[in-house]
Amino acid sequence: MAKVLITSALPYINGVKHLGNLAGSLLPADIHARFRRQIGDEVLFLCATDEHGTPAELAAAAAGLDVAAYCARQHDVQAEIYRRFALSFDHFDRSSGPRNHALTRHFFERLDARGLIEERVLSQVYSPTDGRFLPDRYVIGTCPHCGHGGARGDQCEACTRPLDPTDLIAPRSALSGAADLEHRPTRHLFLRQSALVDVLERWLGSRSGWPPLVTAIARKWLDEGLRDRCITRDLSWGVPVPRPGYEGKVFYVWFDAPIAYIAATQGWADADPARRDWRAWWWAAEDVEYLQFLGKDNVPFHAVSFPCTLLGSGEPWKTVDVIKGVNWLTYEGGKFSTSEGRGVFLDRALELAPADSWRWWLAANAPEGGDTDFSFQRFAAEVNHDLADSFGNLVHRVLSFVAARHGGLVPEAGEPAEPEHRLALALDRHLAALRGHHRALALRRAAEEVRAIWRLANTYLAAEAPWTVIRTDPDRAAAVLRAGVNLVRIAAAVAWPFIPDAAGRVLRLLGVDDAVPALPETSAAALNRTVPGGRVAAPPILFAKFPPGWAEVQSRTFAGASP
């Protein structure tokens, strides 16, 4: 039994997340966690809201709330949405909690003691009107690269180039709009990543199994020369810098956010301290396999910056084994954007369709080889085809026939024959492939294998037609129907990581009520058994089909929607 630590990139706190965030980090992490639980591994799946930084302060100001109160409220909003999407975190924490404060201070002190922190004086934008420095997004102006007028001090949304507030042309304060901005000297702390190049090279060379996209991004950062990184900001919301003369400064959000993976583990352990030990997952934890899931913009922070923090400490912290990074989910040909309210946000998504339908489509179309474009048209067509016509139809035709003709009792007559042996061979191939794809973190291929198992089951039943055979050979029909019931059970078990709600309901119709249904290893035994109690219930409609025209209506509605 392997010990697997799984983390999803931390969703930022400034609003309800969109389908891109779900597809890029939360969902693939959840599906893998569920698969690993299904094969009996010991899994710890963690996540947290990422709460520091200027966007949180600005969103709180826009909502007319104190930033701590704003973050507390938004954390609860996000937690509830993830519960409804059946994201099976063992613990969902907050990066602004006291444990993360303490750990962030710890790492800073270790890095400092090892000579890896350096003070530099920087010229930063200061606003006399606001009486403060304006870091990152607190400054708005014209992009020096593309001329976009609404560029923000950390990045230009139009041309995506990273910026410093001092780069902007005609800068103004995002708080007061004041344009009388000055440049003033201010002291900041840098993490000397340049001193860690060799350590990082060796570390990176010892990793394997990363998607090419992730390796390429990590290598690009190293090959371009690892630059020292400013890890402090002139802000009040965040982890205060424990050094005289640094009052009113906090650590940069990307310094403390990944440390929250460890803080979340402490939060999990603190809920049951007699039985849980966070150190077993992080401290000299050679027996742990650690997997991180995230979108490609987060790769540098996980493949370079966070490892620099951990390795630079000189302590035996667990570092990531595989970073599963993906490309973008785009929205009807353009970008998802939280700030512009473009796309489908997770609260609205749940009003339109069940969580399982979104989970299935986003996994089956995971942006792994390249970007994936979401459109309502494709979503409706593929969900109708896979979930209603294939899986739903399989469940319905088998269980309602058992209900109608056998009073809900799984028939025991008849013996498996040649068609069942052929079926078992084909099923074994698919089950082995499915495990392989899950292990390789190949989400699309795993979903394709699940779809293939549903198709195989439907094809078998169409060919052996127990509904017709029952008139001439009731024993043969019974054997086929028994295989059919077991196929339903297998079809639901393999689907469970993707569509846990519907799969769980189907398994309960068969009397199987396991919190984590096991993944069948081979089909031979699985095909010819009766279900516990021998009785199955008739199914309700599992997935209602989207009616014709539904997608067009949604496309039009969402074209002008705001979050």
Ligand X SMILES: Nc1ncnc2c1ncn2[C@@H]1O[C@H](COP(=O)(O)OP(=O)(O)OP(=O)(O)O)[C@@H](O)[C@H]1O
Q: Which does 159 bind (CB under 5 to 8 A by kind): Zn ion, ligand X, none?
A: Zn ion
Interatomic CA distance for residues 308 and 98, integer angstroms: 23
**DSSP per-residue codes, 322-360:** EEEEE--EEETTB--BTTTTBS-BHHHHHHHS-HHHHHH
Q: Which does 520 bind (CB under 5 to 8 A by kind): Zn ion, ligand X, none?
A: none
Kindly calculate the radius of gyration of the chain based on its CA atoms and give it in whole angstroms: 27
Both tokens assigned to 306: 């966070």
Q: Which does 506 bind (CB under 5 to 8 A by kind): ligand X, Zn ion, none?
A: none
Strands of 353-477, DSSP E: 372-374
Any known ligand binding at 146?
A: yes
Question: 137 with 154: CB under 8 angstroms?
Answer: yes
Both tokens assigned to 417: 């024959």
Interatomic CA distance for residues 431 and 539, integer angstroms: 25
Helix (H) or strand (E) holding 539: none
Give the residue from 248, 112, 258, 304 showing the smallest Cα distance to 189: 112
Question: Between residues 33 and 485, which has the closer beta carbon with respect to ligand X?
Answer: 33
Question: 218 with 204: CB under 8 angstroms?
Answer: yes
Both tokens assigned to 27: 């969902």
Number of shown-chain residues binding Zn ion (CB under 5 A): 7
The nearest distance, CB 295 to ligand X, in angstroms, is 2
Residue type, 138: Y
Question: 427 with 490: CB under 8 angstroms?
Answer: yes
The nearest distance, CB 336 to ligand X, in angstroms, is 4
Stretch that binds Zn ion, among 5-13, 143-151, 212-220, 352-360 (CB under 5 A): 143-151
Q: Which of 106, 145, 184, 396 is in the footprint of Zn ion by CB under 5 A?
A: 145
Question: Between residues 159 and 544, which has the closer beta carbon with respect to Zn ion?
Answer: 159
Site for Zn ion contains 516 (CB under 5 A): no
Q: Which does 143 bind (CB under 5 to 8 A by kind): Zn ion, ligand X, none?
A: Zn ion
Stretch that binds Zn ion, among 83-91, 139-147, 186-194, 395-403 (CB under 5 A): 139-147
Q: Which does 82 bind (CB under 5 to 8 A by kind): Zn ion, ligand X, none?
A: none
Strands of 148-209, DSSP E: 151-152, 169-173, 182-191
Both tokens assigned to 479: 């054997």
Q: Which does 294 bind (CB under 5 to 8 A by kind): ligand X, Zn ion, none?
A: ligand X
Any known ligand binding at 47?
A: no
The nearest distance, CB 444 to ligand X, in angstroms, is 14
The footprint of ligand X (CB under 6 A) covers 9, 11-12, 17, 20-21, 23-25, 294-295, 297-298, 326, 328-329, 336-338, 367
Within its chain, how far is the Cα of 275 from the centroid? 27
Any known ligand binding at 143?
A: yes
The nearest distance, CB 522 to ligand X, in angstroms, is 36
Interatomic CA distance for residues 458 and 275, integer angstroms: 46
Any known ligand binding at 308?
A: no
**DSSP per-residue codes, 261-272:** HHHHHHHHHHTS
The nearest distance, CB 146 to Zn ion, in angstroms, is 3
Question: Between residues 24 and 165, which has the closer beta carbon with respect to ligand X?
Answer: 24
Question: Between residues 239 and 326, which has the closer beta carbon with respect to ligand X?
Answer: 326
The nearest distance, CB 164 to Zn ion, in angstroms, is 13
Residue type, 421: H
Q: Which does 295 bind (CB under 5 to 8 A by kind): Zn ion, ligand X, none?
A: ligand X
Q: Which does 84 bind (CB under 5 to 8 A by kind): Zn ion, ligand X, none?
A: none
Question: Between residues 360 and 496, which has the closer beta carbon with respect to ligand X?
Answer: 360
Interatomic CA distance for residues 440 and 168, integer angstroms: 44
Site for Zn ion contains 155 (CB under 5 A): no
Question: Between residues 158 and 175, which has the closer beta carbon with respect to Zn ion?
Answer: 158
Interatomic CA distance for residues 35 and 460, integer angstroms: 26
Question: Between residues 297 and 389, which has the closer beta carbon with respect to Zn ion?
Answer: 297
Q: Which does 23 bind (CB under 5 to 8 A by kind): ligand X, Zn ion, none?
A: ligand X
Site for Zn ion contains 143 (CB under 5 A): yes
Three-class secondary structure assignment of 73-140: HHHHHHHHHHHHCCCCCCEEEECCCHHHHHHHHHHHHHHHHCCCEEEEEEEEEEECCCCEECCHHHEE
Q: Which does 97 bind (CB under 5 to 8 A by kind): ligand X, Zn ion, none?
A: none
Name the strands in the sheet holding 91-94, side by side, starting at the edge strand that comes first in the sequence.
91-94, 42-49, 3-8, 288-295, 322-326
Give the residue from 260, 254, 283 showing the smallest Cα distance to 103: 260
Interatomic CA distance for residues 295 and 298, integer angstroms: 6
Question: Between residues 28 and 466, which has the closer beta carbon with respect to ligand X?
Answer: 28
Question: Between residues 295 and 484, which has the closer beta carbon with respect to ligand X?
Answer: 295
Query: Segment 156-175, which members bind Zn ion (CB under 5 A)?
Result: 156, 158-159
The nearest distance, CB 327 to ligand X, in angstroms, is 7
Site for Zn ion contains 148 (CB under 5 A): yes
Question: Between residues 337 and 375, which has the closer beta carbon with respect to Zn ion?
Answer: 337
Any known ligand binding at 338?
A: yes
Q: Which does 25 bind (CB under 5 to 8 A by kind): ligand X, Zn ion, none?
A: ligand X
| Beta strands 288-295; 322-326: pairing state | parallel
How many residues comprise the chain?
563
Question: Between residues 367 and 466, which has the closer beta carbon with respect to ligand X?
Answer: 367
Both tokens assigned to 529: 């058994």
Both tokens assigned to 235: 């802000």
Q: Give backbone dihedrals phi and psi of 521, rounded to 5 degrees, phi first.
A: -85, -50
Binding site for Zn ion (CB under 5 A): 143, 145-146, 148, 156, 158-159
List binding-site positions for Zn(2+): 143, 146, 156, 159
List binding-site positions for ATP: 338
List binding-site positions: 143, 146, 156, 159, 338
